[in-house]
Structure 1
Amino acid sequence: MTLPQTEQLHPNAALLNRGDLITSARALAEGQIAAAAVVRDALGNIAQGAKAMANTIREDGVLHYVAAGSSGLMAAADAQELGGTFSIPPARLRIHMAGGLPTGAEMPGGAEDATDGLLKALGQVQGMDTIIAVSASGSTPYTIAAANIAQTCGATVIGIANNAGSPLLEAADIPILLATPPELISGSTRMGAGTAQKIALNMLSSLMAVELGHVHEGMMVNLRADNDKLRGRAIGIVAGIAEVDPDTAKHALDIAGGDVKPAILIAAQGVSPEQAHARLQATNGILSIALAQE
């Protein structure tokens, strides 16, 4: 029986040698680079997945991230960063990780086979929701069960896997194949497969933000400045786009309650907070269109 690609032995595995850690390090680095490169082959479906995610947010649906093991950690990291980066409300995000998110250094192992609680966890899934299901093998029972439950509810399933023809990709509405080479440490999919998964997940959420108008000329304009680091960043964003000095940008942010988009309109055009919010609402939050309406 032919092993799945994620379980096969890498042809350069013998380069991992405790007597020559520099050569070993070079082999591992090249393995990561090769894994990252395969994401280029999935750009079309990644873009399609990002549009589905954006539609879910527009319709007040929920993005459900589902995975087990190291794939679960990658998925959870992406989900947990969407609030601070793009102000996606927590109510629009759910993380379903087999065995639950670890609170210590120990990762739950057998939980990826336990699907009993999934029906309850996904019981509120609706048609406007999107499920982002991630599994290196593409055959993790927990992830497959979640995808099947989601589809019976009419939700869109984005499946991310590293083996062609795997059950998750077959079940997904939007399959994203990341055909990474075998791992330098055979079966250790936290490495190459995980690297490609992280890139794809970050691309999905970042492209979703672009589609929603949360990114303007490469800047995070849907940022809400609620700590010192983000406030400093927000002042720079407002000053740069509105072409004003930092003090003016800071004042506009204060008036806007820390919201970057209205602060930019206030600083650039002298409108009131109410006018800024009304203009953004009328333009579906697309800053470039709102700025053009002087």
Structure 2
Amino acid sequence: MSYIKITETPSNYDNLERMDTSSILLKMNNEDKKVADGVAAVIPQITNLVDALAVRFISGGRLFYIGAGTSGRLGILDASEIPPTYGLPHERVVGLIAGGDTAIRKSVEHAEDDAEQAWKDLLNHDINVNDVVVGIAASGTTPYVIGGLNDAKKKGILTGGITNNPGSPLALVADIPIEVNVGPEFVTGSTRMKSGTSQKLVLNMISTALMIKIGRVKGNKMVNMQLSNDKLVDRGTRYLVEGLGISYEEASELLKEYGSVKKALDAARK
């Protein structure tokens, strides 16, 4: 099936090298303004994925992101924020990138072209039917991602896909495709720009909504965050001051005693 490769279409601007700095930045900003609208258009699909994911997650399932290059790094970034922000073990949300950990910092040649490697990477984590695999690829054609989703589907595992080319192979293979059309990039084909920004927004929405739905947020507070530095200890203390109507000193002692905002809140309210 043919489709328009929006991520490869020419930029709306030309002769970029002749622009002054202010013009470059203003035009980039004008393009960036289109990203949120592109994401808004796919909220129904994101909703479907989050709801299906929450059911599996509550039953002990996990979320896996698979991607290459910028897309892979964004998946790893989102996954890495879950333990400190919401207090879950690292193995509940996992980001995998073509080329392995080396590819987080440096490009690994042809790693994304291996259609079999993603499944091998997933098997290293004992993936099973309770889990969900979300493939991320702006182009929607990355063999590493498409191969991983195909293999997951064969094993009865729910799959999602985030792409910036509607109708692409990734969109067709994913059980729940999220196709974000942000138009051509400011620099033609540079998908780390608008496409990458849209992926970051979608990933934020998926993981944050999931954490809220499984009870890792109370009111509007990160009550399960890891108290790993002075800033977060202070934030947790202020949460208790607000939530319980006690002094900062009392809240500080309560937090020291129980080690987490949620445990302190639960104990104080018994």
Query: Given the two structures, how large is their TM-score scaled by the length of structure 2?
Result: 0.92
Alpha-carbon separation, structure 2, partners of 1:105 and 1:117: 19
Alpha-carbon separation, structure 1, partners of 2:3 and 2:83: 43
Map residues 89-238 of structure 1 onto 2, 5 A cutoff. Answer: 89-102=89-102, 105-123=105-123, 124-238=126-240
2:17 alignment partner, SS class: coil
Question: Letter of the aligned partner of 1:63 in structure 2?
Answer: L
Q: Give the aligned partner of residue 246 of structure 2.
A: 244
- 1:67 equivalent to 2:67? Answer yes
- How far 1:225 sits from its partner (Å)? 1.6
Alpha-carbon separation, structure 1, partners of 2:174 and 2:115: 18
- How far 1:18 sits from its partner (Å)? 3.8
- How far 1:89 sits from its partner (Å)? 1.0
1:52 alignment partner, SS class: helix
Alpha-carbon separation, structure 1, partners of 2:254 and 2:199: 39
- How far 1:208 sits from its partner (Å)? 0.5
Alpha-carbon separation, structure 1, partners of 2:217 and 2:23: 41
Structure 1 residues 2, 9: CA separation in 2 closer, same or farther (over 3 Å shift)? farther
Alpha-carbon separation, structure 2, partners of 1:8 and 1:134: 20
Q: Give the aligned partner of residue 10 of structure 2.
A: 9
Q: Give the aligned partner of residue 275 of structure 1.
A: none
Contact 1:56 1:62 in 2 (8 A): yes
- How far 1:119 sits from its partner (Å)? 3.1
Alpha-carbon separation, structure 2, partners of 1:168 and 1:3: 13
2:226 alignment partner, SS class: coil
Higher relative contact order (CA 8 A, sep 6+): 2
2:41 alignment partner, SS class: helix
Alpha-carbon separation, structure 2, partners of 1:104 and 1:167: 25
Contact 1:69 1:109 in 2 (8 A): no
Alpha-carbon RMSD across the aligned residues, in angstroms, is 1.9
Number of aligned residue pairs: give it. 267
Q: Give the aligned partner of residue 88 of structure 1.
A: 88
Q: Give the aligned partner of residue 54 of structure 1.
A: 54
- 1:266 equivalent to 2:263? Answer no
Of all paired residues, the percent bearing the same amino acid is 33
Structure 1 residues 40, 114: CA separation in 2 closer, same or farther (over 3 Å shift)? same
Q: Give the aligned partner of residue 29 of structure 2.
A: 29
1:160 alignment partner, SS class: strand
Alpha-carbon separation, structure 2, partners of 1:186 and 1:163: 14
- How far 1:158 sits from its partner (Å)? 1.2
Structure 1 residues 104, 115: CA separation in 2 closer, same or farther (over 3 Å shift)? closer
Question: Letter of the aligned partner of 1:145 in structure 2?
Answer: G
Q: Deviations over 1:18-48 (max 9, x none)?
A: 4412111111111112123210001111122
- How far 1:50 sits from its partner (Å)? 1.8
Alpha-carbon separation, structure 1, partners of 2:181 and 2:19: 31
- How far 1:132 sits from its partner (Å)? 1.5
- How far 1:142 sits from its partner (Å)? 0.4
Consecutive unaligned residues of structure 2, counting only runs of 5 or more, are none
Structure 1 residues 53, 220: CA separation in 2 closer, same or farther (over 3 Å shift)? same
- How far 1:228 sits from its partner (Å)? 2.0
1:175 alignment partner, SS class: strand
